[in-house]
Amino acid sequence: MATFMSDTCDRSSPEVDLFKVDFKYYKSRKPPPKYDNCINFTFSTTDNHLVTPFKLLSPKDDLHLKLGLKTPAEWECFKHQQCPGLIFIRNPFLPGYQRYWVKQCLEEFTKKPNKTNLDSVYSSSSDTFNNILGNKELCKKLRWVTLGYQYDWTNKLYYANEYVPFPPDLAELTTYLARKLEFMNFTPEAGIVNFYHMDSTLGGHTDHSEYDMTAPLFSISFGQTAVFLIGGPTKTTKPVAMFVNSGDVIVMSGSARLAYHAVPRIIPARSELMVESFTLPGEGDFADINTTLNADGKDSCLPPKAKVAKTSAEQNSICFKNISSIKSTKTEGTFFPSETIKVGCPQPHEEITKSNQCLISCSSKNITFNIHEEVRKLGTDISWQPFEDFLKTSRINMNVRQVLPEGKTFTNIL
Ligand SMILES: O=C(O)CCC(=O)C(=O)O
């Protein structure tokens, strides 16, 4: 059973880089670290008085099914006393549904015009990266992909004219998570997909390039397990260490949004966690989900209420704008005519049920992804095998941020 650091001990020291001390400790191969102080949210945390589990209410709709998630009432959510604003959700995905995101990260998000680290490794034509999984060298070298506003790593900046429409499926997933946690105004605008191998690390840093740092940051991981460290606003705060397993979601909000964090080590995932994450539902359970999704329509993946939501086509396109962050108010060059900006579907802050309805009606008109169908397709050994092979020695992390403050553009930010 893990032991836990006392909250009475002094966690910060004005002179010592306590973050580096722990980073080096967990990174070390000789000697390897002990994990006694690493929080394991998979097991009971009731003996850890610094960790507070909490539950969400049952939703009135079935939108979670469309997104391949368990009902929010089943999510195991945690807060940590020493990291105000940090929320940990232990794998909220339905069994097998993480397959969809693994495929998206490796096959869809890596496509041009998104940027990847491979662009500088190989200065060749855009179709080079169409089949990363089929090329062992590319698999080994893949480190990151940027989504939405393409992050400039050198200058640590985002630019108005370096924007690729944010993936609607990931926009909907993160907006849904945000709304359930009552971040009613969160808009996903930029993402980094990080790819780790067994010897990869990510050094201590804060994410401070976004113009809105009051909005939460969503971090969703798949595959091998990481040791994740999160400290305070400077490296003088001793970080808290936790295991991040496949499917786990970390939300950094409040003061945790600007806290130093790092991944000092990747460790082999426990096999039962990989089974829980990637084993497809039995035919019967699959059919059950499908029946719920299709209860009100022929071939739609939408939950029944989506069909009854009466929303005009115009409203739908505005809804889409609201949820997928392609906000005319924010994006220069604009996707939508500016006169449609002020009218719109219920704004997220109005009421949670309305924003969900907004998501649903948006989905019915504008968003064409069908997670359920894709997971079914990934059900054959032949289609899933390359991804499974990749994950045997890799971890994928989707890191999603809001860049601009509500109602701001790049020109009127300051
Ligand atoms: O991989 C992770 O869990 C964290 C990634 C991260 O901190 C980042 O992309 O800024």
Q: Write out pLDDT tens, residues 193-215.
A: 999 999 999 999 999 999 999 99
Q: What does the pLDDT read at residue 381?
A: 75
Q: Inter-axis angle of helices 352-366 and 313-324, to 10 degrees?
A: 110
From CA 340, how far away is CA 328, in angstroms rounded?
Answer: 9
Would you say residue 58 lies in a domain?
Answer: yes
Residue of minimum CA distance from atom 3 in ligand 1: 397
Whether residue 392 sits in one domain with residue 256:
yes
pLDDT confidence of residue 129:
65
Query: Is residue 198 located within the same domain as residue 340?
Result: no
pLDDT at 413: 84
Question: What single letter denotes the amino acid at residue 146?
Answer: T
Strands (E), 206-340: 217-223, 225-230, 240-244, 249-252, 261-267
Is there a domain that residue 348 lies in?
Answer: yes
Q: What is the per-residue pLDDT across 239-268, written as a single tens digit (0 to 9) for each?
A: 999 999 999 999 999 999 999 999 999 999
Q: Could you tell me the distance, in angstroms and rounded to a whole number, from the CA of residue 234 to the centre of ligand 1?
A: 17
Does the residue 21 lie in any domain? no
Co-location of 236 and 201 in the same domain? yes
Pocket of ligand 1 (CB under 6 A): 192, 194, 202, 207, 219, 221, 226, 228, 244, 261, 263, 397, 399
Type of residue numbered 27: K
Q: Are residues 367 and 391 in the same domain?
A: no
pLDDT of residue 335: 25
Q: At what angle do helices 271-278 and 381-391 cross, to 10 degrees?
A: 140
Nearest residue to 367 via CA among 308, 319, 307: 319
CA atoms of 5 and 362, how far apart (whole Å)? 46
**Ligand 1 center from residue 192 Cα (angstroms):** 8
Whether residue 196 is contained in a domain is answered as: yes
Question: Is there a single domain that holds both residue 392 and residue 368?
Answer: no
State whether 178 and 304 are in the same domain.
Answer: no
The tokens for 395 are: 């971890």
Q: Which of 192, 397, 398, 401 to mutate to test the pocket of ligand 1 (most atoms within 8 A of CB)?
A: 397
What is the residue range of 242's domain? 54-279+386-401
Q: 47, 36, 44, 49: which is closest to 6 by C-alpha? A: 49
Please give the Cα distance from 216 to 87 (Å, whole number): 10
Same-domain pairing of 194 and 62: yes
CA distance 251 to 248: 10
- 252 lies in some domain: yes
Q: What is the pLDDT of residue 123?
A: 65
Dist. CA 54 → ligand 1 center (Å): 24
Asked whether residue 144 falls in the same domain as residue 219, the answer is: yes
Please check whether residue 94 is in contact with residue 69, taking contact to mean a CB–CB distance below 8 angstroms.
yes
Q: State how many domains the chain has.
A: 2
Residue 169 sits in the same domain as residue 229: yes
Token duo for residue 219? 């971090």
CA torsion, points 399, 364, 357, 62, in degrees to nearest 10?
Answer: -80
Q: Are residues 165 and 268 in the same domain?
A: yes
Sheet of 202-205: strands edge to edge?
38-39, 240-244, 225-230, 261-267, 202-205
Within-domain flag for 407 = no
- pLDDT value at residue 281: 81
The answer to the question of residue 30 being in a domain is: no
Mean pLDDT split into 10-residue runs, the chain, 414 residues: 39 86 98 96 85 94 95 97 97 97 96 92 62 89 97 96 96 97 97 98 98 97 98 96 98 98 98 96 72 50 28 30 33 26 27 34 56 92 92 98 94 82
Residue 250 lies in a domain: yes
- Rounded to 5 degrees, φ, ψ at 163 are -125, 130
What's the CATH number where 271 sits?
2.60.120.590
Query: Does residue 261 share a domain with residue 309?
Result: no
Q: Is residue 253 located within the same domain as residue 317?
A: no
